[in-house]
Structure 1
Amino acid sequence: MRRFEEELTCSVCYSLFDDPRVLPCSHTFCRSCLEGVIHLSSSFPVWRPLRVPLKCPNCRSVVEIPAGGTESLPVNFAVKAIIEKYQQEDQAEAATCSEHYRQPLNVYCLLDRKLVCGHCLTRGKHHGHPIDDLQSAYLREKEASGKLLEQLTDKHWADVCLLLEKLKEEKSRCESIVQVDKKAVVQYFKKLSDTLEDKKQALLTALDELNRRISEEYEPLIEKLKKIREEQLELMSLNTSVQKEESPLIFLEKVDEMNRRIKALKQKQLPDVKPVEIHPRVEHLLKNVWAKAEVGQIRKILVPKIKLIPARKLHSKGGGKEGREPKELLQAAGPYVVLLLFVITALHRDFHTRLQDVGDVLCHTFNVLMGFLGRVFSL
C-alpha cells in the first residue's frame, strides 16, 4: 500500500485525502483544501453567484462549484475507503506527525531539514518553506553524506586528537604531582606525629618519675604517722577498759603500763612537714612555650628535668609564678639560646656580683634580652 501513497495524497496539502471531493474535471482534493482555494480566489466579497468558478489546482481548467458549495460536490468513496484501509493496516508502521494526528511525514522541509506532514506546510510552522519530496531528498542527502567523511578526517580532527593527547598527558602529570604531594603530607605528619608522641612520652615519663620520688618522699612519713595514730587509738580503747577494772591491784598495774606507753608515744619524734614545689610546672611550659612554638621547632624543645624544690628556696629566688616562668622558658630553650644568654651575661659583669646563682643570672639575662628586643621592635 505504501507505493500508492502518492496517489492517495492531496496535491494541495500534501497529506492523505481528508473527506475527498471530486471536481467536474475528475480531480480529487480535500474538501477543506477546496474551501481554502475558493476563499483565496473569490472576487465576490458582497454577493456570491449561484455557481462559483474555480481553476483546478492540477489541470488548471476552470470548473464551476454548485451553489451548495463544496458540500454538494460528490465524495470520492473509492479513495476514501482505500485511505481508511491504508491507515488501519499501516498505522503502526508509518511515521506520523507529532503535531497533526495520524498525518504521515511524507514531505521534506529544505529549510529546517526535517520530515513534515502536509498540514505542517499549509497551516503549520513550516508554512511557506521550500520543500522536496521524500525520495528526492533521500537521494540528494545520501549523495551529500558521502562527503561528510572528508570533513571528519581533515586537519581539524587531527588537531583534536593531538589536543586530546596533550590534555591526557597534562592530566597525568598533574595527578602525579598530587600523588607526590599526598605522599609528602603523609610522611611529614607521620614524622610530626612521631615527634609529638616522643615528646609526650618523655613528659609523661618525667612526671611518672616525679610521682615515684613524691611517693619515696612522703610515703614513709605517712606510714610512720599512721602507726602513731593507731597506737593512740589503741591506748584510748585500753584506757576505757582500765576504767572499768574493779580490782585495785590489776587497775594499778594497767594504769602504770598505760602511762609508760603514753610517755613513750609522746616522746616519738614527729616528722617535719616541709612544703615543696614542683619545678618547672609542665602546665606552664605547655601553655607558655610549647603552645607558642612553631611546628618545625617542636622537636628542638628540650624536655625539662622536673624537680621537687623546697618552697622557701624557690620563692626566695624570684617569688611566685612571675619569677618561675622565665626559668621555665630557659630550661625549655635550646643550647644555642643558653649560650647566647651567657655571652650577654658576660658583657654585664656588674650584675654578676649581685646575683645569687646561675639560675638568677639566666633569669636576669633573659629579662634584659626581652627588654632590649621590646625597645628594638617598638622603634
Structure 2
Amino acid sequence: MTSNLTALVENVITCPICLKHFDQPRMLPCSHTFCFQCIQQMVTDNHGVLECPKRDGTKIEGNNIGDLPLNETVRGLLQLFENPNSSVPLCDRCGTNEAEHWCDSDCKHCFCTKCWDTIHEVGQYQHHKKLSVKDKPLEVPRCGEHNDEDQTLKYWCELCSKEMCGNCQQFKHKDHKFVLVTEYVKSLGEKTENGLQGVQSCVNYRSDRVDKMLSEIEEESKDNQSKVTTAITSIRQVIDEQERILLESVRKTEKDERKIVEDYKRSLQGEQQNLIEQILKFVVVCHDKNPKKILDAKKPFEDYIKATDTKLLELKPLTRTKKELPGLDALKNMETEIRKIKLEALKYDNEKLRQLITNTTDKSTLNLSSSELKDWDMEIVAKELEINRSLTKLRLFTNQISDTGAQHLADALRTNTTLTDLELHGNLIGTGGLEHLADALRTNKTLNILTMHGNRIKDQEAGFIADKLKTNEKIEPQIRKINEIPYTNPQLTQLITSNINSASIDFRSKNLNDQDMKIVANELLQVNKTLTRLDLYTNQIGDSGAQYLSEALKTNKSLTLLQLQTNQIGDSGAQYLADALKVNKTLTQLILYTNKIGDSGAQYLGEALKTNQALTFLRLDQNQIGDTGAKHLADALTLNKTLTVLDLEKNTITDNGAQQLAEALKTNKTLTQLYLGANQIADNGAQLFAEVFKLNK
C-alpha cells in the first residue's frame, strides 16, 4: 500500500472526534460516523441529547443511541488495514483448518499440516514441492484461445482494451500498441488511487466548506442579532432620553407661562379692587346729592382715573404663542422606516462592468484586466461564464479579487465547458481561493492555462493543493509552479492579434522557440477558426514546442498545411505530432524536413498513418531515418488509404529499408510519389522498385 493510499484509508478510518481509529463505529441517520464511546460522551456533555457535531441538524435522544447501526464498511476497512495478512485460506482438503502449506507441484492446492502429512507421505507425492501458504504464487489467467502452458495473458492491448497472450499479440493484435499487464495494472492502480484521492479531496473540501458555511451562518446570525439589539436599544435610549427632555421642557414652559399669567391676573385683581372702592365712593357721594361733596370728589376721581389709565396702559393685555412639537410628525415617518427594516441579501451591481461585457464584440475573449474589479464583481463575471458558450479566454489580472471572488469563479467553472485560458495573476487570492479553484478543476478538464502569480499563495501551500489535483494533468503542474512568471513574447502576441482572422500566417525565420509555440498553440490555433496555412519553418522549435502544437492540433478543425521544416524536432516531438494525427481530421500537408527525426520518430508517425484519414502529403527528407524507420513507414503504407506523397530523401535508408518500402507498394493503391534520393540505396534496392513499378499502376 502506497503512502498516499495509506493516508487515504487513514482518513476514512479515523474518528473526527477523538482522532483515533474508530472503536465500534456507529452511523447516525445523516450518515456521519463516530466512535460509540465518543457518541456517549457527546450525549453526556449535551444534557442527554446527541447533536451531530457536523451541525447538519440531526438530533437523537440519548436513550436511543444504542440502536445506532454499526458502519460495517468502515469496520471491515479497519480490520483490513490493521490486519493486512489476516486473510488465511482454509485447507482445500478438509475445508475446516487454516491452510499452512502450498503444494507447488501437481496438486496446486493449500493444505493444513495434518492433510499435507496424510497425502504427501507416500509415493510420488513425497517429492512435491512444499511452500508456505504465504508464498503461494499469484494465479495467472491463461488465454482462452491458446491453451499452451506459456500462453498466459501477460499483455494489455491499448487499442482493444483487453488482455492477450504472446500469440495473440503477434498475430491477432499485430501492430496494436501494447504494454505488459503488470505495467498496465500498476498504472491503473495509480490512476485509480489518484482518482480516489481526488474524490476524497473534493469531498473533504466541500465538507469543510459546508462546515465553514454553517459557522458563517451562525456568526452572521449572532452579528445581525447584535446589530439589531444595539441599534434598537440605541434608538430606544434616544427616544427615552428625548421623551424626558421634551416633557421637562413642556412642564417648565407651562410653569413659566402660568407664573406670568397669574402675576398679570393678580395685578388686574388689584386694579379691580381699587375700581370697586372708587365706585363705592362715587355711589356714596352721588347718594348724598350734595353738590359740594361731588365737587370735592371731582379731583380725586379724576386723579384715580388718570393714574389707573396710566397703569392699565403699562399693564398691556397679555398675548401668547401656542407651543407645538412639529418634530413629532417625523417620528411617524421614522416608525414607517423602522418597520421597513428586514433581513435581506445584500444587492450589488456594477453597470459599468455589465456594459463592458455587453459591448465586447469578440465573444471568445473577455479582457477585464486592470479594471479595479472586486469580489462582488465576480458574481457578474461568473454569470457570463455560465451563459456565454463561446468564451475561451478570460483575462482578470491586476484587479482586487480575493478568495470570495475566486469562489464565485470556481462555482461557474464546474459547469463551464468552453473556457481554456483564465488569467488571474496580480490579485489578492490566497490559499482558500486556490482551493476553491482546484476543487472545480478536478472535474473541469477544458481549462488549459491558469495564471496566478503575484497573488498571496505560498509555494508550499500550492504544492499541497497540487498533490490533490493529479487527475488534472494540465493544471496540476501549473499550480505546483504557481508563482513562476510565465514566458511572454509581446511581439509574437501582437502579430497573432493582428492576424487573428487570417487564413494564412507566415512566422518563418522569426527565431521562435518552444515557449513561443505555447503562445501560438493557445492564442492562435485554439482561437482562429479560419486559419488553413501556418508557416513555422526555420526557427528554434524542438520537442516541447511540437508538444504544444500537438495539443492544439487535436482540437483544431481548420488548419490544412503546417510547415515545420528546418527546426530541431526529434523523435519525442514526432511522437507528439503523431498523437495529434491520430485524432486530427483536417490537416492534409505536414512538412518536417531538416529536423532530427530518427527511426523511433518514424515509428510513431507510421502508427498514426495507419489510422489517419486526412494527411495526403508528408515530407520527412533530410532527417535521420534508417531502415528500421523505413520498415515502420512501410507497414503504415499497407494500411493507409490517403497519403499520396511521401518524401524520404537524404536519410540513411539502405537496400533493406528499400525492400520494406517496395513490398508495401505492392498493395498500396494511393501513394503516387515516393522520394528516396540521396540515401544509401544501391542497385539491388533500385531493382526492387523497378519490379514493383511493373505491378503498381
TM-score bucket of the superposed structures, by smaller chain = under 0.3
Structure having the higher helix fraction is 1
TM-score (norm 1): 0.27
Larger RCO (CA within 8 A; separation ≥ 6) = 1
Q: Highest CA radius of gyration, 1 or 2?
A: 1
